[in-house]
Structure 1
């Protein structure tokens, strides 16, 4: 039964206040996630000798269903309750991320995962990204509102960023650190901080990237391979580019791709190459357009917003979402050095897909139409 505008139930108020175009785009990406894990995951499971050919597919079905539920549930929250949930999530994720340095499982020289009985592996740093974006936005907004008296709030947000940066550097996860730093820089810039401070932060970030090149061998190797071809081109990138070439304009057809049989991480970091081979350039551009639509639509919704906290939080969430999608697709196309980062909602991964759903739930909640600032403090009223 259709919901009328006169419906004052929680569902009715949610339906007529949420950005349904953004919701539709996100659910379309979730549908692509189902299709692509069905196309790529069985071949990967077979190649690694998994107990079941459909192991990854069954898990991802559950992950994506859970993600859709999380996104819908979180989108019901008021901006105040978004902040509360993000603060709790940030504290929990930060503690668990520090725990990975002590009891985390080491994979390829990095400690990013915790083995949880019955649940499998958990990457808590994934949840740092959306929660940090919201909490940092809240603290920066409070600092701006306090004027010259807000120096303690600025010290708090800088200390929070430093804590997150340290734990990510220790794992190490330079790609995740780059995303978090970009989110923080975007928020500081939008907040209207003195340009000298913005330039100083930008210089600090650039210095950090240069330092990462000299300190971390895997970063140096990937950059050298990308810029100079030293040590030979990456095998995964070579196969990915071959997959895009084989797909052409319309693709070879669903399930007909061959490169996924030899492409490591075909269901995760390089799923975009599988899309290119089996569905072609047209579908690749359509997926790219979906990501661009979510980001641009979100920014346009903020043009009429007056609450600085909402503006900064949504800006951070959109920066994270768009940057993660860009890094994944650009890595597959050899436009940037390779970086293991999932394509939101399309790649396989439990922690990643649930964390992205949490962030998009935050975004949908923050960009809902609100009747008045006084009503924003209620989780169940103030929406139409």
Structure 2
């Protein structure tokens, strides 16, 4: 065990925060899984706890393996993976079946394993790494907008367009994160304004097309519009049933909560173990538990900024921001939805909500961040060794 801990590199605080989030997740997931056990008729909540445990174990193995890869390898890997994720998105989009009542155009079933995988989450990590690679190449160079169209914006818009029909919220978050990354990467503001305008035009065209041909993308645009209308409209309707139940759960939680496993709204709130798990956490752990969880994500954000600042190269800095910032952003959106500060998006709470794909891709992103951090540690260790070699008295004192 000591050898394993010594073999773990990278920012120790990020490891600690990730472990705390994972450990904390067992209680709300086990509590909220009673709803799933009832819906699917098996009545065994322990199965869902074991499944969540397996997802986390595999996730942390991914994190461990990825953090051992030197971060400059992700430059080449991002180029290789772009066509792979495009093909995966096309295959996923071509499916017309449903998985457990959900739109299958978000998931792909892995052959011979029976596991479903949400391809858009993998595409998001790959795309952010690719954008970071390109921005690091043109750093401090004068480039024209035309020069960046094919190598930068073609892959970005191709992936976003493939994700958009099935998952608007993921598309919007990913587009926003790309805009933040190119801004921080020094991409000219006038070019960013052009891309924002192009994105708005593409979204407008898609909405008009979906309205004109409703059979092509059934119910997608109507779902987006109804969610925004329900958020703006204060009237109680059947459509905002989820958010009303979430508000009841939060109100019942009070300051210290009803206690672990004593949630009532888990039996009525759809997606209580995933999209709306934050409401269940506040109901059981109260305002104190909700703030504690929020502080963990803020701590993660601070460590991301520190790792990015201390990175030894531009690519490392941009890579940390590109793959790490969406984790915190997604968490804040999930919390904002639960307290009705944001329309319903369907985004999970990273490392807390049940669901394999979300956990695995979050661990993949954190592993990349730890890889950048580990490189910094390796350089410091080399410098310390050199200092000792140049100072034989210090080596002799350690031996004695």
Query: TM range, normalised to the smaller chain?
Result: 0.7 to 0.9
Q: What's 2:62 paired with? A: 70
How far does residue 275 in structure 1 lie from its aligned partner after superposition? Answer: 0.3
Is 2:194 aligned against 1:200?
Answer: yes
Could you tell me which of 136, 139, 153 is aligned with 1:158? 153
Within 5 Å, give how 1:65-214 maps onto structure 2: 65-103=57-95, 105-106=97-98, 108=102, 111-116=105-110, 117-144=112-139, 147-148=142-143, 152=147, 155-170=150-165, 172-205=166-199
1:109 to 1:23, Cα distance in 2 relative to 1, 3 A: closer
Larger displacement relative to structure 2 (174-183 or 51-60): 51-60
- Larger radius of gyration between Structure 1 and Structure 2: 2
Within 5 Å, give how 1:36-47 maps onto structure 2: 36-47=28-39
1:371 to 1:32, Cα distance in 2 relative to 1, 3 A: closer
The one-character-per-residue Cα deviations of 1:100-130 (angstroms, maximum 9, x if unpaired) are 1223534555611122343332111111111
Q: Distance in 2 between matches of 1:260 and 1:11?
A: 37
1:247 to 1:210, Cα distance in 2 relative to 1, 3 A: farther
Q: Distance in 2 between matches of 1:90 and 1:53?
A: 39
Which ranges in structure 1 are unaligned for 5 or more consecutive residues?
4-9, 376-384
Is 2:281 aligned against 1:275?
Answer: yes
Q: Distance in 2 between matches of 1:36 and 1:51?
A: 17
Q: Report if the CA contact (8 A) 1:241-1:273 is conserved.
A: yes
When normalised by structure 1's length, the TM-score is 0.86
Superposed CA RMSD: 2.7
Q: What's 2:308 paired with? A: 302
How far does residue 89 in structure 1 lie from its aligned partner after superposition? Answer: 4.3
Q: State the secondary structure of the residue aligned to 1:111.
A: helix
1:191 to 1:276, Cα distance in 2 relative to 1, 3 A: same
How far does residue 137 in structure 1 lie from its aligned partner after superposition? Answer: 0.5
Work out the number of aligned pairs and report it: 365
Q: Distance in 1 between matches of 2:377 and 2:147?
A: 31
The one-character-per-residue Cα deviations of 1:332-370 (angstroms, maximum 9, x if unpaired) are 111111111110010010111111110111111112325
1:272 to 1:120, Cα distance in 2 relative to 1, 3 A: same
Q: Distance in 2 between matches of 1:29 and 1:49?
A: 29
Is 2:337 aligned against 1:331?
Answer: yes
Q: What's 1:217 paired with? A: 222
Is 2:254 aligned against 1:248?
Answer: yes
How far does residue 319 in structure 1 lie from its aligned partner after superposition? Answer: 2.2
Q: What's 2:390 paired with? A: none
Q: Report if the CA contact (8 A) 2:131-2:178 is conserved.
A: yes
The one-character-per-residue Cα deviations of 1:308-327 (angstroms, maximum 9, x if unpaired) are 21111111112211111111
1:130 to 1:104, Cα distance in 2 relative to 1, 3 A: farther
1:90 to 1:59, Cα distance in 2 relative to 1, 3 A: farther
Larger displacement relative to structure 2 (103-112 or 187-196): 103-112
Larger displacement relative to structure 2 (281-290 or 102-111): 102-111
Q: State the secondary structure of the residue aligned to 2:333.
A: helix
Which ranges in structure 2 are unaligned for 5 or more consecutive residues?
211-220, 383-400
Q: Report if the CA contact (8 A) 2:304-2:324 is conserved.
A: yes
The one-character-per-residue Cα deviations of 1:57-78 (angstroms, maximum 9, x if unpaired) are 2211110111111111111111
1:58 to 1:88, Cα distance in 2 relative to 1, 3 A: farther
Q: Distance in 2 between matches of 1:134 and 1:31?
A: 28
Q: Distance in 1 between matches of 2:170 and 2:164?
A: 9
Could you tell me which of 269, 274, 294 is aligned with 1:263? 269
Q: Distance in 2 between matches of 1:250 and 1:231?
A: 28
Larger displacement relative to structure 2 (104-113 or 232-241): 104-113
